[in-house]
Chain A
Amino acid sequence: MEALEALRELLSISGLALRVLRLSNCQLCTADALEKLSPHNGNRVDVRSIEAVASALRECKCPLTEVRLGANRIRDVESATLLSAVGENSCLSRVQLGLECNALTAEGLAGLRAQLRGYSVASSWTAAGAAAGASSTAGQPHGVVIDGRFQQPRCLLISDLSKGWGEHGRVAAILPLQGRGGSGGALAGDVALFLAATGGDLFRMGISLEEEMHRYEGHDDDVTCVAMRGEMTISGGADRAVRLWRSRTASGVENSLGQPHASGPSNDEPSEDEDADGAEGSSFKGSSFKGSATERAEGGRLAGLLGADGLISLRSRSEPTCVATLEGVHVGSITCVLATDSLIFSASTDGTVAVWDLAAAVAGDEPALLAHMVDHTDKVTALALAFGALFTGSADKLVKRWALPASAGGRPMGSSSLIRKADDWSCTLGWRAHDAPVACLAATETLGLLCSGSEDGRLRLWQLVQPRDATSAVSGGALDGRVHATAETEAVLIATLCGTVPPKPLRTLCIEPTRGEVLCAGASDGALCVWHLRSHMLLHTLRAHVGNAVRAICFGASGSLYVAGSDSRVVVWSFSMDEEEVTRVTAGPNLMDDMARADWPVEIVQEGCR
């Protein structure tokens, strides 16, 4: 409180020209304070730091126009206190109160907006001012910058898939469906969930359905990883094989992989649209999130996609067929697969990465193996395709970058004939990324960052820069606003982040796709840390798989976040993605842009907020 008391003294001095005060990410609401705010603790409110800030704002005599309090884990009650303090001070009639990336709930956000609208009404604002003994400032606009994105998320659904499924297995992957729309809201059926059963079978499930949609039978051992590309599903297993699957419906290639599911009418009868197609399928409204759709169509397995508000559309599908099996190269389990329009990458515990020609594999008329990269000395655990190159992470603690021949601007290769020379697949960069095995990789081309997570619980952010331009890392190697990996670039460590104390091994990473600025890191203890990549701030720590590792993360449409744990539970979180407020923040001073220009700690160790 000593610093905030000094702040109050500073602001209460008349004659100062101070207009902009930035106190973002200053831990104003500590974990202790939040603990005391917990309903489980009798709702005892101890927000002395926020009260001190509010007191400073009440007594402020400086012509403040901007006060930034982002990323301080401010909750609804504190934000209301702050807004009231601003409203009581006539000197702050034009201040912008920045509450970005805090812990506001959706209800709290709505309350703030209502409070703000009240201030904009002359009568209400006068009343608020009069109550505090302040002079009337009716009609003078106050500005409150509230970034609705990535405030405290709501938990929409916890689905225990193992209950209705009845077979032992685990979540292999949650993957986004291409071409998904953003208008359907959360749970719009925009992701595909894959469960790997012991023994080699793979199931594609609905998120809240206890009914399988597809069964992929063919692997001789457990499936360890899955990727999707267009109509193809690619799976890798402990049987050292990569299998390619294609799903077909009666009308041809299944379109659900390329088309998002559109919500149908909310009734218990089949929708008119689906009825018009006759045999195409039907729609039902699920009785609950636990799922009740068990009807099966004759001649094929019944598949379901969960729509908004529990609407489930059921379509008759045939079994996916295995169109190719890629084996004989890896001598260890497949750990990771990745696919482009023309290539398949498979990583293995044997420390190698294989590159396969997708078209040749499907046609089966020529060797599909394009390259076999053997530079790593331990098992390869992660693959990432970004900046026009392939990045591999390994248990040998290294991250390596591989040039993709005949690639232009990161676009996938068109003709395999250009990439058949072994020399083309060369390691152009390798560096010791961690002091422990690298477990996962993710990349955001928006920020030009490669993120690596390791077994020591550290998350590291790397930027590819030109060697002679290391100080201006942001612009290094930029072409068309994106960083392209060239032989001349090198990786510069931007930050090391750790979200939990003590650190727990990281298992998976996922970057929010629309803006590429938020990363989720799942740990072995079930904690999911949500990081803002520009500011390196830990926004939230979500815990729904306590004691069970996070196995898969995937962002869906409209701010939905799907998290699967090793307990076969899938939790769906929903982040507020208020576009109106986003526009306001973008138009005005942007805290995060300012933060991006500043330097950030080499290491941040923060305790997660609840």
Chain B
Amino acid sequence: MPLTKPRNASDETSGCLPHQVSFGEAGARFCIGRYYGTVEMLCVSMSRIGGSQSIDFTALAALCTNRLPPSSLRVLRLSGNQLAGIDAVGGGERKEAGVNEILEMLQSGDCELDELDLSMNMLSTDDAQALLQASMEPSAGRRCSVRQLRINQWAVPVELLVQEELHVLDLSRQKIGPPDAELLAATLLTRRRLQPTCLNLSGNALGTEGALTIVRAIVKRASGNWRVPLRELHLANVKLRAEGAALLLRELQHLPSLVLLDLSSNPLLSKVSPSRGSPLIATDGIRTHLSLPPSSGRLAREPERGRQPSGALRGREPPRLHGGSGGSP
């Protein structure tokens, strides 16, 4: 349902927006101005563009190719739209058309959005990284096309991540979960100009998996002779338990530059309840699958590894860096 805001009477004649938009056979239909007369559209929320059997990206293509400006659209929420084309009912077939449309829109640099919500679209890690990178560094001459990008739970502050000379990267209380931690770790590893000396991740539900992913990325960065080493690491209240804390502290042995370590408000003596099974943490890294005992019958077979990465992205080069300046105008 579109979020609308009544405009002033003087704006009624501007007529810059259509009064009704309809996308595809199975697409969303929504009206603008149906209830309030002429309204200013601040946000478009679409749900279930695709059907259960075949996915129709017509609506998305129409939306993306129009590229929005000079309209006033600033918030685009495409949550739960099977943009990666994976439909459980349809047999799990992956179609990259949706992701491609979004990627092209972001890379074009023509769109400027305050918020782009792509959550609950079953995007792979590669998808997420490519989308984030495209948001941070669109085509030449554009600095940042999206200020906030939500791929999982975390609303990635793209505008913050593209800042240069950022010493304090405060990402506290931003609902960063393990999948988002993986995205952040990849960003820390790939974006060389992002060199904070203080990283605050307090208050995010990283868990052992997420915290370890990030700390390993930090240690890897440090071993790669990055110019500015991390000096402060705030991991208060990130749901770190005993096993994870032990692994994390052993990783930090390889980070001699660290001056401040905040592990407050974590149950460091608490172990995962035995009834929940063993933690998904191996001593040599994070387990990617669980082996169930034979008594579990047909479930005992080892499940397939994670989703295949996007075909569209496998053959796609990541967005290029522009002259080392990160696409700054």
Given contacts A10-B253, A598-B200, contact A3 B259 (CB under 8 A): no
Whether B259 and A18, one on each chain, are in contact in the complex, defined by CB atoms closer than 8 angstroms, is: yes
Question: Would you call A6 and B245 a contact (CB within 8 A)?
Answer: yes
A278 in the interface (beta carbon within 8 A): no
Question: Is A9 an interface position by the 8 A CB rule?
Answer: yes
| Interface residue ranges of B211-253 to A (CB < 8 Å) | 231, 234, 236-237, 242-243, 245-250, 252-253
Given contacts A27-B270, A595-B236, contact A19 B259 (CB under 8 A): yes
Task: Find the B residue at minimum CB distance from A12.
Answer: B253
Smallest CB separation, B180 vs chain A (Å): 14
Residue of B at shortest CB range from A598?
A: B202
Chain A positions within 8 Å of B263 at CB level:
21-23, 26
Is B256 a contact of A17 with CB atoms below 8 Å?
yes
Residue of chain A at shortest CB distance from B236: A598
Bound complex: CA A9 to CA B246 (Å): 10
Contact A598 B253 (CB under 8 A): no
Q: Can you add 10 more A-B contacts, CB < 8 Å, to A2-B242, A595-B236, A599-B237?
A: A2-B245, A17-B258, A18-B260, A20-B262, A21-B263, A26-B266, A26-B268, A537-B265, A598-B172, A598-B237
Chain B CB within 8 A of A373 CB = no
Partner of B252, one of A2, A10, A22: A10
Please report the C-alpha to C-alpha distance between residue A181 and residue B263 in the assembled complex, in whole angstroms. 40
13 inter-chain pairs at a CB distance below 8 angstroms, sorted by A residue, are A2-B246, A3-B246, A3-B268, A4-B268, A6-B246, A18-B258, A18-B261, A19-B259, A23-B264, A26-B269, A598-B173, A598-B236, A598-B264
Complex interface: chain B residues within 8 A of A27 (CB): 267-270
Assess the A22–B261 pair: CB atoms within 8 A: yes
A28 within 8 A of B: yes
Cβ 8 A contact of B264, one of A3, A6, A13, A24:
A24
B263 CB to nearest chain A CB (Å): 6
A1 on the B face (CB < 8 A)? yes
A10, A15, A28, A601: the one within 8 Å of B237 (CB): A601
A595/B264 contact (C-beta < 8 A), A3-B269, A6-B246, A600-B203 known? yes
Q: Are B267 and A6 in contact (CB under 8 A)?
A: no
Judged by a CB distance under 8 angstroms, whether B82 is at the interface is: no
Note all chain B residues with C-beta closer than 8 A to A598. Answer: 172-173, 200, 202-203, 234, 236-237, 262, 264-265
Interface residue B257 (Cβ < 8 Å from any Cβ of A): yes
Contacts of A10 on B, CB cut-off 8 Å? Answer: 249-250, 252-253
Alpha-carbon distance A1/B237, docked complex (angstroms): 19
Q: How far is the CB of B25 from chain A (nearest CB, A)?
A: 38
Could you tell me the distance between the alpha carbons of A2 and B240 in the complex, rounded to whole angstroms? 13
With an 8 A cutoff between CB atoms, is A324 at the interface? no
A566 at the interface (CB under 8 A from B): no
Bound Cα distance from A28 to B234, whole angstroms:
19
Binary per-residue interface labels of chain A (593-608) against chain B in the complex, 1 for a CB within 8 Å, 0 otherwise: 0110111110000000
The answer to whether B242 touches A3, judged by C-beta atoms less than 8 angstroms apart, is: yes
Q: Which residues of the other chain, A, contact B248 by a CB distance below 8 angstroms?
A: 6
Which applies to chain B's interface (DSSP): helix, strand, loop or mixed? loop
Q: A26 to chain B: which residues have CB within 8 Å?
A: 263-269
For residue A132, which residues in chain B have a CB less than 8 angstroms away from its CB?
none
Query: Is the CB–CB distance between A599 and B246 below 8 Å?
Result: no
Q: Say whether B202 contacts A599, CB under 8 Å.
A: yes
| Contact indicator A7/B234 (Cβ below 8 Å) | no
Q: Tell whether A246 is near chain B: CB-to-CB under 8 Å.
A: no
When C-beta atoms are compared, the residue in chain B nearest to A3 turns out to be B245
Q: Which residues of B contact A4 (CB under 8 A)?
A: 268-269
Query: Interface residues of B toward A: which range?
Result: 35 or more
CB-CB nearest in chain A for B229 = A17
**B249 touches which one: A7, A17, A49 (CB < 8 A)?**
A7
> Does chain A have a CB within 8 A of B135?
no
Q: How large is the interface on A (under 10, 10 to 19, 20 to 34, 35 or more residues)?
A: 35 or more
- Contacting B at CB under 8 A, from A312-349, are none
Inter-chain contacts of B200 with A (CB < 8 A): 598
CB distance from B216 to the nearest CB of A (A): 15
B246 cross-chain contacts in A, Cβ below 8 A: 2-3, 5-6
Contacts of B257 in A (CB 8 A): 17
CA–CA, A16 and B261, complex, Å: 12
Q: Is A68 an interface position by the 8 A CB rule? A: yes
Residue A30 interfacial (CB < 8 Å):
yes
With the chains together, A601 CA to B236 CA distance in Å?
10
A24 touches B268 (CB 8 A): no
Closest chain A residue, CB of each to CB of B174: A599
By a CB distance below 8 angstroms, the chain A residues around B249 are 3, 6-7, 9-10
Closest Cβ of chain B: how far from A69's Cβ, in Å? Answer: 10
Note all chain B residues with C-beta closer than 8 A to A7. 249
The residues of A that contact B253 with a CB separation of less than 8 Å are 9-10, 13, 16
A residues near B152, Cβ cutoff 8 Å:
none
B107 at interface (Cβ–Cβ under 8 A)? no
Q: Is A25 an interface residue (CB 8 A)?
A: yes
Min CB gap B324→A, angstroms: 31
A-B CB proximity, top 8 nearest: A599-B203, A599-B173, A3-B245, A598-B202, A6-B249, A6-B246, A20-B260, A22-B262
B29 to chain A, nearest CB (A): 29
- A269-B266 Cα distance, complex, nearest whole Å: 58
User: In chain B, what residue has the closest Cβ to A21?
Assistant: B261
Nearest residue, chain A, Cβ from B231: A17
Contacts of B259 in A (CB 8 A): 17-20
Chain A contacts of B237 at CB under 8 A?
598-601
Contact of A68 among B172, B234, B243, B264 (CB under 8 A): B264
B204 at the interface (CB under 8 A from A): yes
Instruction: Please measure, in the bound complex, the distance between the C-alpha atom of A13 and the C-alpha atom of B263, giving whole angstroms.
Output: 19
A25 adjacent to B264 (CB under 8 Å):
yes
Query: Are A16 and B258 touching (Cβ within 8 A)?
Result: yes
Closest residue to A14 on the B side, CB-wise? B256
Residue among A15, A16, A49 facing the most chain B CB atoms (10 A cut-off): A16
Interface centre among A2, A27, A594 (most CB of B within 10 A): A2
| Alpha-carbon separation in the docked complex, A10 to B255 (Å) | 10
Note all chain A residues with C-beta closer than 8 A to B265.
24-26, 535, 537, 595, 598, 600-601
Give Cα distance in the complex from A17 to B255, angstroms. Answer: 9
Report how far A448 CA is from B254 CA in the complex, Å: 42
**Cβ of B156 to closest chain A Cβ, rounded Å:** 14
The answer to whether A28 and B203 have CB atoms under 8 Å apart is no
Contacts of B258 in A (CB 8 A): 16-18
A599 and B204 contacting across the interface, CB-CB below 8 Å: yes
Interface pair B172/A597, CB less than 8 Å apart: yes
**Bound form: Cα–Cα A452–B249 in Å:** 39
**How many Å lie between the Cα of A599 and that of B265 in the bound state?**
10
- In the bound complex, CA of A600 to CA of B172 (Å): 9
**Pairwise interchain contact A599-B262, C-beta atoms closer than 8 A:** no
Quote the shortest CB–CB distance from B319 to chain A (angstroms): 28
Q: Whole-angstrom distance from the CB of A70 to the nearest CB of chain B?
A: 8
Q: Mark B170-207, 1 if CB is under 8 A from A, else 0.
A: 00110000000000000000000000000010111000
- B-side contacts of A13, CB under 8 Å: 253
> Complex: how many Å from CA A365 to CA B145?
68
> What is the CA–CA distance of A463 and B310 in the complex, to the nearest angstrom?
43
